[in-house]
Structure 1
């Protein structure tokens, strides 16, 4: 065998004279270290002979293309702007759940879920000023959940995965990048393929943990399309010793509450998406240990590199994210927004069910812990995309919404959602009384959430977009 850069090994190729020559060029060859002896490498190239590197990458690309991912179809696969093939990811996810069994929802279970969603939605009428947001109420299998939420996953994750794929080529050490030239495109293409496969596998695992369409605080099947997974409800119930009907109604109330919020606060979805994009824009990677990690991989086995990639962006992954001020600020705003969404949902649901469901307190605490910590598959997905959608200050957010309701009533509490400028900040979570009593100009005002829409029902321009333009104009004027 000939020595390859980073300690890679591959069979001798009798037709590859350049590979044999570079492998015999000296004791430093294949060390993968700058200045690691008289390696005979041009210009001190730290990763071995560039031609050898090219041969290695081409062989890996051939091996990857000759082994399609499980469940991947050949037709209709188009890549997104991030280079991720989300059609392939969806097929892989569906394959992952089908391998472990994913029966269709029985008619009786479907009827129970539909009835629970409709009934819980009626209960919410007495707990919030926002009208019903339900258009459909359904029960789904895991495969149906994947099919109907994948577009939202792609839209949410594209900014993050795009940054990851981009980093695979552009964040290589300077010496390698200057010599690799067109190989960077190949590296990114292979990176997009691997991230897509990992995303599909992670979403398939997520499907075994989710309860409905709003587990992450965002209606993944679109506003108004409420659904619960009987398998997810059953999994949530394990060990609680609470009647199934009570658990189902509580979870249905949470599902319906999120849909009310997003259906009548038109700026909220785009606001969350914008914060994710801002977080992605601030992502930076430390590649100082990339050479050592690559040196442990045997490219004669494509699964070896896929396994290395499975660590995503974390201690076990190839790419190590670095905190930047921009990233930290965006993450703080995103976590505050998610906490406010979750806190509002918990407050409204508690008000709606507390006198109807005897075990609502225990169910609320179980849900809070679940949202605060997440499950194994959710952590895997977070490592892949580099972001945990965790509302970390649930108790503070719940206390703030309760204080608002006590001071201003249900209508005044919900009126805060009219405009992003009215929303509490992270500092307000530290001082809820200051927020509640420090904006007396809003107290008792006649707020109408419908003012966010045009007479024909279409959305008005997003407040955040309008503010951004005015802010730019002001700077130009200055």
Structure 2
């Protein structure tokens, strides 16, 4: 980790755009220790077994047909940053195209580059696993090879911090991320649904407007995505998880003042609300109709719960 190199890279940001993307990646990695990735044969086999077992159990319990992505990677923090720079760049592209020329373009570029490198560095040090549907990629949604990532140094570090067995914690994370693969595999329309609303919202921001409806629909859909994954993970996991849940929830709320501020700025509090609100909805539905009944949400876009139905699952049960 080299903070001086990171700062120097940001202050030397160049190019014609509002963001120097190569500098974003370089600065984020310079301020972040890559972490250990010299896995033993047993650790590699453990990851493979966890993913395979999660797939088989989720297929059986959830009543959903899906395949794992072709890309399943065990990464260090730098690998994760490289993979997600492209995502940030795709999301920011409309804003960059439409944003007016700054009075001091060099200063604006440095500020934007520094902000995005900080965001990626913070996330790179904290993300445990990720299911990446590659939203806004050039290929059509049905032609994309989605990806599944596990950030091994973070999993090891958090397991040690929480004082839990690493293999058990890793397996729990695998069940959560494979649950997302189950959702997107069961609902081929889901990527396009999310992407359409994301595009509308970002395009509006690029012209200085706020499309509240687009972002509200995106939030509602993502609440369903996160909530269903929480339900599937908890019902399918083959061990007691109460201690893991309590310790991870405490971690999501903890950290120093800088970490808490970063979480607020990055909207991670909103993500936690999505977990909790969505999980409460699906627990009620599953208790009434079983996991297969809850999985009906992915049959077609019209089956997604509305914002009001998320807080009143009985209305969704009556409608679907």
Same fold (TM over 0.5): yes
- How many angstroms apart in 1 are the aligned matches of 2:89 and 2:174? 26
In the alignment, which residue of structure 1 is the partner of 2:77? 142
Shift of 1:253: 0.5
Q: Output one character per residue of 1:166-212: Cα deviation in whole Å (capped at 9) or x when no partner.
A: 3xx5xxxxxxxxxxxxxx45534642343123212321222111102
In the alignment, which residue of structure 1 is the partner of 2:305? 424
In the alignment, which residue of structure 1 is the partner of 2:166? 244
- How many angstroms apart in 1 are the aligned matches of 2:223 and 2:217? 10
From 109, 114, 124, the equivalent of 1:192 is 109
CA 1:281–1:388: 2 relative to 1, 3 Å? farther
CA 1:330–1:114: 2 relative to 1, 3 Å? same
2:219 is the counterpart of 1:335: yes
In the alignment, which residue of structure 2 is the partner of 1:55? none
In the alignment, which residue of structure 1 is the partner of 2:19? 84
2:28 is the counterpart of 1:111: no
In the alignment, which residue of structure 2 is the partner of 1:212? 129
In the alignment, which residue of structure 2 is the partner of 1:69? 9
The 5 Å alignment of 1:24-423 reads 69=9, 79=17, 83-97=18-32, 100=33, 102-108=35-41, 109-134=43-68, 135-159=70-94, 162=96, 166=99, 184-188=101-105, 190-214=107-131, 218-219=132-133, 224-281=146-203, 283=205, 326-353=210-237, 356-358=238-240, 360-367=241-248, 380=262, 383=265, 390-423=271-304
In the alignment, which residue of structure 1 is the partner of 2:141? none
Q: TM-score, normalised by structure 2?
A: 0.77
Out of 107-116 and 191-200, give the one that drifted further.
Answer: 107-116
- How many angstroms apart in 1 are the aligned matches of 2:110 and 2:212? 29
The answer to whether the 8 Å contact 2:286/2:294 transfers is yes
Shift of 1:339: 1.5
Q: What RMSD over aligned residues (CA atoms) do the two structures have, in Å?
A: 3.8
Q: TM-score, normalised by structure 1?
A: 0.54
Shift of 1:372: 7.7
Shift of 1:282: 5.2
The answer to whether the 8 Å contact 2:96/2:206 transfers is no
- How many angstroms apart in 1 are the aligned matches of 2:56 and 2:214? 36
More helix by share: 2
Secondary structure at the aligned position of 1:392 is classed as helix
CA 1:265–1:438: 2 relative to 1, 3 Å? closer
Secondary structure at the aligned position of 1:394 is classed as helix
The answer to whether the 8 Å contact 1:102/1:142 transfers is yes
Shift of 1:213: 1.9
- How many angstroms apart in 2 are the aligned matches of 1:374 and 1:262? 32
Query: Which has the greater radius of gyration?
Result: 1
The answer to whether the 8 Å contact 1:343/1:394 transfers is yes
Unmatched runs of 5 consecutive residues or more in structure 2: 1-6, 136-143
- How many angstroms apart in 1 are the aligned matches of 2:264 and 2:270? 8
- Work out which structure has the larger RCO, using CA pairs closer than 8 Å and 6 or more positions apart in sequence: 2
The answer to whether the 8 Å contact 2:28/2:117 transfers is yes
